[in-house]
Structure 1
C-alpha cells in the first residue's frame, strides 16, 4: 500500500516510517522544503508541502494517510490551530475527495473531552476538532490516542481503551507500531482508542 505520512520526520514519524517499510508498504513523506530528511528510509518518496498551505493534489497516487504531525510543544496557540486543527482538517478533506481507503490519526489522551482550563486545553481542543472532522468525513478511519509520550522504543506490549491508565506512559516506538497496524488492519476500522505501553 502506498501511504502518505504527515509528520514523517518527527520523533514518532521516523519510527513510523521504518515500521511501514518493514511491513512492505510504499511510503510518501510529506515534508517542508527545509526539513531534515536524513533519517528517513532510503527509498522514501518525498512530497513537498506545508500543512498550513496544502495543495489539492497532495494525496495523489496514495491509498491511505497517516497524520503523525504536530506543531510542537514550543509553539503558540495560533500555530497549534494552523497545524493540529486546520492542517489536519484540510488533509482529511483532500483525502476524502480523493477516495482514500484509510486515514489514521495520531491524537492524544484528553482529546475526547478537552478541558479548556488545563495546561494543554488549547492543543486538546484542536485535536478534538480534527478528530471530529475525520469521524464525519466518510473516510474509513482509525484514531489513536496515546497517553503521555516517551522517546523509548517500547516492547510492543500495550493496553487499549478501558485498560489504559491515563496517567501512564506510551513509548513512541509502540505508538508507531500501532499507527502502522491501524492503516490496514480491519480491527481498527472506524475505531477510536486510548493506548499506553505496559
Structure 2
C-alpha cells in the first residue's frame, strides 16, 4: 500500500517508515524543506509539505495516511495549535477529499479527557481536538495513545487496550510497530488504542 507519513523524519516516524518499508509497503515520507532525510531508509519516496500550509493534493495517491508528527515539547502554544491541532485537522480533511481508505493518528494518553491542571494540558487539548475531528470525519481510523515515550526500540512486548498504566513508559520502536500494524489490521479499525511497553 501507498502510505503517506506526516512526521516521517521524527523519532517515532523514522522508525515507522523503516518498519513499513521492510514490510513491503510503499511509504511516502512527508518532509519539510529543512527536514533531515538521512534518517529515512535509502530510496524512500519523499513529498515536500508543511503541516502549517498544506496543499490540497498532499494526499494524492495515498491508500493510508499516518499522522506521526508533533510540534515538539519546547514549542510555543501557538505552534502546538498550528501543528498538532490545525495541521492534523487539515491533513484529515485532505485525506478525506482524496478518498484515503484509513487514517492512523499518533495521539497521547490523556488526550481523551485532558486534565486542565496537567503540564501537558495545552498539548493534550490540541490532540483531543484533532482526535475528535478524525472521529467525526467519516474516515476509517485508528487512534493510538501511548503513555510517556522513551527512545528505546523495545521488544514488542506491550500492553494494548485495557490495563495500561498511565504512569508507564512506551518505547518508540514499540509505538511505531503498533502504528505499522494499524495501517491494515481490521481488529484495530475505528478504535482508540492505548499502549505501554512492558
TM-score, scaled relative to structure 1:
0.99
Deviation at 1:161, TM superposition (A): 2.0
Note the 1:13-28 alignment, pairs <5 A.
13-28=13-28
Q: Secondary structure at the match of 1:38?
A: helix
Q: Provide structure 1 residue ranges, at least 5 long, that are not aligned to the other structure.
A: none
Partner of 1:31: 31
1:162 is paired with a residue whose SS is: coil
How many aligned positions are there?
198
Q: Secondary structure at the match of 2:138?
A: coil
Give matches, 1:118-157, under 5 Å.
118-157=118-157
State the SS of the aligned residue for 2:153.
coil
Q: TM-score, normalised by structure 2?
A: 0.99
- Matching residue of 1:164: 164
SS at match of 2:123: helix
Coordinate RMSD, CA, aligned: 0.6
Paired residues for 1:55-94 under 5 Å: 55-94=55-94
Per-residue deviation, 1:23: 1.1
Q: Provide the rounded CA distance (Å) in 1 between the counterparts of 2:144 and 2:75.
A: 23
Aligned residue for 2:39, secondary structure, equals coil
State the distance in 1 between where 2:162 and 2:48 align: 39
Deviation at 1:172, TM superposition (A): 0.1
Deviation, structure 1 residue 63: 0.6
Q: Extract unaligned runs of 5+ from structure 2.
A: none
1:104 matches 2:104: yes
